[in-house]
Amino acid sequence: MRFKADLTLFLVALLWGSAFVAQRVAGQEGSVYFFNAARFLLGAALLLPFARKRLTFSKPQGLWMLAGGGVLFIASALQQAGIRYTTAGNAGFITSLYVVLVPLLLLVGWRERPHWLVFAGLVLAILGAFLLSTGGKLHLQPGDGLEFAGSFFWALHVVILGKFAKRYDPLSFSLGQFVVAGLLNFLAGLFLESFGLFDLELVLGAVIYTAIVSIGVGYTLQVWAQRHTPPTDAALILSLESVFAVLSGWLVLGERLVWIQIAGCFLILSGVVLAQIRLPREIKAKLPEVA
């Protein structure tokens, strides 16, 4: 089941990476909160027919759906706001830092120390993300601080799903957190944005695509998959999002890849594979003890 969950997270990373192109289009139009509200609420509406017969609710589940949706609101808002004031490369690299923050959160909050191979995989993945997203040259931009703050909340969201969402039905939990994130974005938009910034005709395609692919399918599969795989492993596999984002930019927008970015892709893939390596218990038992 864990292998199936890891393959599902691989698919999620592919879906999120392809949706990054659509998010860039919306970001160039200037809307943050109303765009996020539209895609989260539409994603919830699309999921409702499938989740209607499986809806469950309890006070603990409601609290964790509020927590998951609240963290998702903050993370997505910071990411969408930051991409208006920084380059796509900087945004991709800085957001990917959540891969490092997940094991740190687990270490501080739950005293969980990952296997040393996971740490080695993290180093390779972050180095690869740096080369892939920036081409080896990081030029600080005004929106980088927002992206870094967002990476903390993406990490927190991964931990919440891995630790608490596994207790509940994935469709029901996903629907709840989408509604919370959508409503919070809408309320924030009423206070912080003008409706004039949100030209539905210009961003309709981006809203529909991200609502279906990134939110309706991607986040729902993430909730299910993280019931069966550790948060640190999930974060590493999801870091492949940056690889698929670059490939999508190449296929859709005609963006070119230089050799150092290809090397970054290879390092990320190597880090993910390395972190999945585990010695079978039978082999471990036969290894001689070191005095």
Phi, psi of 168 (to 5 degrees): -125, 165
Planar angle of CA 18, 6, 272, nearest 5 degrees: 75
Amino acid 289: pLDDT: 38
Amino acid 288: pLDDT: 38
pLDDT tens, position by position, 148-188: 899 999 999 999 999 988 889 898 999 999 999 999 999 99
Residue 54 has pLDDT above 90, yes or no: no
Could you tell me the pTM of the whole model?
Answer: 0.84
**Alpha-carbon distance 109 to 72, whole Å?**
19
Residue 87 has pLDDT above 60, yes or no: yes
Q: How far is CA 210 from CA 140, 156, 169, 190, in A?
A: 28, 22, 23, 22
pLDDT tens, position by position, 193-243: 876 656 677 688 889 999 999 999 999 999 999 999 888 888 888 888 878
pLDDT tens, position by position, 252-290: 767 677 888 888 888 888 887 777 675 444 333 433 333
What is the percentage of the chain residues whose pLDDT exceeds 70? 90
**Alpha-carbon distance 86 to 147, whole Å?**
9
Amino acid 215: pLDDT: 92
**Alpha-carbon distance 5 to 47, whole Å?**
20
**48-52, 71-75, 180-184: least confidently modelled range:** 48-52
Amino acid 269: pLDDT: 80
Residue type, 246: V
